[in-house]
Chain A
Amino acid sequence: MRRALPFFGLFGAALLLPLFSNDYWAVIGARAAVYWILVGGLNLVVGYGGQLAIGYVALLTLGAYTSAVLVAKFGVDPFVSYGAAGLVGAVAGVVVGLPALRLRTFYFAMTTLGFATIVTQVALAWQSVTGGGIGIGGPELPKPFDSPWGFYLFALALAAFVTWLSSNVAQSRFGRALVAVRDAEVAAEAVGISKPHLLTTVFLFAGACAGVAGGLFATLQSYITPEAFSFDLSVTFFIAILVGGRGSILGPLIGNIILTLLPEFAAPLVAWSTFLYAALLLGIVLAMPGGIAAMIDFKNRRPLASNRAILPNPALISGHGTARGDIVLKNVVLAFGGVRAIDGLDMTIRPGEVHGLIGPNGSGKTTTLNVISGYYAPQEGEAFLGASPLPHGAPRARAALGIARTFQTPRLIGEASVLENVMIGATIEGNASFVESVFSLPRHHRDEKHLTAKAMQALATVGLERLAEVRADRLQHSELRFMEIARALILNPAFILLDEPAAGLSGDEIKRLGELIKAMAAQGIGVLLVEHHADLIFDICDHVTVLNLGKELASGSPADIRAHKEVVSAYLGG
């Protein structure tokens, strides 16, 4: 509830605006509201999803012309025309957005920019429908929305509605998944997040918002020509979000208000406004990447206790998911270029066992882990879970099979809280659909309650519960390692794959990590442990496999391995 206070403050103040200002301000206020309807949706794409869509003015244009043409040429009801504009916007949003699934950031930015140019040119050339350069009248609303203040309040209500919708998305598993795709795409895949589904949904939503905003924009302008949809406008939307700060609703809302109002207060600078916005963008990127949101994030300014220790509570590890048998690798071969990273490997990981995997650099340890977790498809051989083969090259499918993992370098979502980072791990357990989350329906609340409780339990297990609300990028390296383990444990996995979890940990922390891992196995979880710390491996493993040049050099109990002469020399050299 406290989070909603600033929004009530802003919209409350906006409601009071008619009491002490003139019609001119009604138009400015309505403009800010209409822009926000677009920016509020775009914020999920840019701020949360990290997709650099710089040409969103194209969707505004499409929405505006859809609405204006339907009303002027076909006599459609203006409100219905807004709906149609939203529909067209949603479809176009997906069309413009889809390249993001395939293209890298700069490419995607360019395609949206190109699309914006094309739409304006078509609007200019298609005179029979759009009126070309002469333009077309915008839809006129019936009473009481035909007055400046009437329209203002209508737009304000819609803006408030969009704010509510977008913050519902942001605080759902979909919002967290968007940020995960932005900051830690590989980890997002490992927990079962489907980037194509997620982005398509969000592009639909943002496109619909932009389309409706376009319809309202046509009404606001009362007459539209292609010139009204300059690229500068697009840049303003985009910059409002970045100035506001990524991963925030309030920040971009404030950014949007400031950028809309600024030219009114600094009349001599109007000609320079785009220049100033651009300078602002450059300044923000270089000096304050967090934007306004980081500036007003007082909670994360408070210093953290400097000598905090991680004290896991292994007793809290709860029952694991039902294992469907052992993970079995049979004669797996995987080569990169000419180099055989894995060269005919057989291995069995059993539930309730800690299986250590050691070997010198380049012996294929992490590659083996990546085959099991689905990032690489073996060229020969097969990986099984129980009797059924593990699907190749499908990391997303692993979470549903109860296989969780951590990474050699922690893949954190830096700007999200520790709690949210852990909740990401159980994204696939959510039941509410996107629509249910958008409208904050009961199933969405049940999901949130369930995931929060599980995440707190996982955090308590690894000993980080007191840091739950802290932004993850403020944590120390060792804490991030334990956070990743919590993210894996929240899934109640049948198997957990740990990639050098002890790297960078202190001696005490390694000891506690060892106890935690032993407790996992005691609860029936199968653990694959890739590690360099020989003492940890020999302390806690039930079974050790030694790799060299992609082949098994030795396999057996820790005692067998310690006595193995070849192993000792290979390992020492490594």
Chain B
Amino acid sequence: MLQAILAAGIAVGATYALIGITYNLMFSASRVMSFTAGQLGMAGGVLGALFIGRMGFPVIPGMILALAGCAIIGLVTEFVAVRPVLGALDQHLYVLSTLGLALMIQQFTAIEWSTEPQPFPRLIGIGEGGPFDEKFWLPVVACAATVGGLEYLYRRTLVGRAFLAIAEDNFAARALGLPERNLRMASYALAGVVGGLAGFASGELLLAFFANGAMLNFLGFVPVALGGLGNNRGALIGGLALGLFQQAANFLVGGVFASVAVFTVFIVVLLVAPQGLFGAPPSRRV
């Protein structure tokens, strides 16, 4: 049983961590938390099943198409739901605009795809059924690849440093002549790819299901909230911890009480440390 808990826990945990990183990528570029983060995960699964399962593309081209689709959703988020309200961040209109867009994506999928979970194709075919089934380790591989890729981006490339710069001080970055708008769009496209990858890699585990969007929205947000906004390391640790905790509770006390437990822990930790466990304190208000 321990093996099963570990395998499933790390797999879903890696998925939550990836959605958490998706939130962070969008937040770092714009100070906006977007409800579309979870929908990107959902879209990754659905588009993967569409291109590979229904339309018969080979795995690699199918994956590229699915991720490209998610990158476009990321760009649409930036253009439709974020850019128009950036001027009034203090009014929190982005909560409403991204909620509206997220619901549109979810409902469109429910109607045009299916309201029932649809199977996701076997991608490779390794470890049929056991704890080493690909459905358990694919999300882990995707998560490791993403974290490694981002690390490379931030440490080795000028674009990556420009991302860090606009995340730290948007105004100073603009004054320095950095193309802030292009960088923001690039961040959203990248967020789309990462979110899509989360859903694609966990497709065999979570299936291609429209309601995954709302579920991932919440469970992907938990590690961000606990780890602190914009903190990818926090999201990674928080995501894995959440996945293990959830699966352990699932096996030990059953699904519903696992959800209640997750929610309770989430609320309690947030009330005790509203900035997250690794977050920074708030700035001056007056």
A residues lining the B interface (CB < 8 Å): 52, 54, 99, 102-107, 109-111, 113-115, 117-118, 121-122, 124-125, 186, 231, 235, 242, 271-272, 274-275, 277-283, 285-286, 289, 336, 366, 370, 375-376, 407
Q: A274, B107: Cβ atoms under 8 Å?
A: yes
Indicate if B80 sits at the interface (CB-CB under 8 A). yes
- From the candidates B100, B218, B274, name the one contacting A279 in the complex (CB within 8 A): B100
A278 touches B274 (CB 8 A): no
- Taking the closest CB of chain A, its distance from the CB of B193, in whole angstroms, is 23
Apart from A103-B274, A105-B95, A366-B286, what 11 extra A-B contacts exist at CB < 8 Å?
A52-B92, A102-B274, A111-B267, A117-B218, A117-B259, A275-B104, A277-B103, A278-B107, A282-B100, A282-B101, A286-B97
Instruction: Report if A115-B263 is in contact (Cβ < 8 Å); known contacts: A282-B81, A286-B97.
Output: yes
The secondary-structure label for the interface of chain A is helix
B285 touches A375 (CB 8 A): yes
Most buried by A among B100, B255, B274, B284: B100
The 7 closest A-B pairs by CB, nearest first: A282-B100, A278-B103, A275-B107, A281-B100, A125-B256, A106-B33, A105-B92
- CB-based contact A281/B274 at 8 Å: no
Q: Given contacts A54-B99, A107-B225, A242-B96, are A282 and B256 in contact (CB under 8 A)?
A: no
The smallest C-beta distance from A311 to any residue of chain B, in angstroms, reads 31
* Minimum CB distance partner of B115 in chain A: A271
Q: Chain B residues near A115 (CB, 8 Å)?
A: 263
Kindly state the separation between the CA atoms of A555 and B36 in the bound complex, as whole angstroms.
Answer: 57
Q: Is the CB of B270 within 8 A of A99?
A: yes
Q: How far is the CA of A285 from the CA of B102 in the complex (A)?
A: 14
Chain B nearest CB from A521 CB (Å) reads 25
* B110 shortest CB reach to chain A, Å: 8
Is B164 positioned at the interface, with any CB of A under 8 Å from its CB? no
Residues from chain A with Cβ under 8 Å of B152 in the complex: none
Q: Which residue of B lies closest to A370 (CB)?
A: B286
With A99-B267, A99-B271, A109-B95 as given contacts, are A375 and B286 in contact (CB-CB < 8 Å)?
A: yes
The complex places the Cα of A103 from the Cα of B273 at a distance, in Å, of 10
> In this assembly, does B260 line the interface, its C-beta being within 8 Å of a C-beta of chain A?
yes
A contact residues around B99 at 8 Å (CB)? 54, 109, 278, 281
Interface size for B (C-beta < 8 A) is 39
**Pairs A–B under 8 Å by Cβ, sample size 10:** A99-B270, A107-B274, A109-B95, A110-B218, A115-B263, A271-B111, A281-B99, A282-B97, A282-B101, A286-B85
Q: Which residues of B lie under 8 Å from residue A121 when comparing CB positions? A: 255-256, 259-260
| Interface 1/0 per residue, B90-121 and A, CB below 8 Å | 00110111011111100110010000000000
Of B80, B92, B96, B274, most buried by chain A (CB within 10 Å of CB) is: B96
Instruction: Name the distance in Å between A452's Cβ and chain B's nearest Cβ.
Output: 29
A186-B286, A281-B96, A375-B285 are known contacts. Are A114 and B81 too (CB-CB below 8 A)?
no
Q: A118: nearest residue on chain B (CB-CB)?
A: B263
Q: Inside 8 A of B19's CB, which chain A residues have their CB?
A: none
Chain A residue contacts of B101, Cβ below 8 A: 278, 282
Which chain A residues border B254 with CB–CB below 8 Å? 125
B249 nearest CB across to chain A (Å): 13
Whole-angstrom CA separation of A110 from B224 in the bound complex? 12
The smallest beta-carbon distance between A276 and chain B, in angstroms, is 9
- Does B214 sit within 8 A of A, measured CB to CB? yes
Which A residues lie within 8 Å of B61 (CB)? none
Residue B245 at the A interface, CB < 8 A? no
Report the nearest A residue to B218, measured CB to CB.
Answer: A114
Residues in A whose Cβ lies below 8 Å from that of B93? 285, 289
Contacts of B285 in A (CB 8 A): 186, 375
Within 8 A of A (CB), among B65-103: 80-81, 84-85, 92-93, 95-97, 99-103
Is B16's CB within 8 Å of the partner chain A?
no
Instruction: Let me know if B92 and A118 touch, CB within 8 A.
Output: no
With a cutoff of 8 Å between Cβ atoms, the chain A residues found around residue B57 in the complex are none
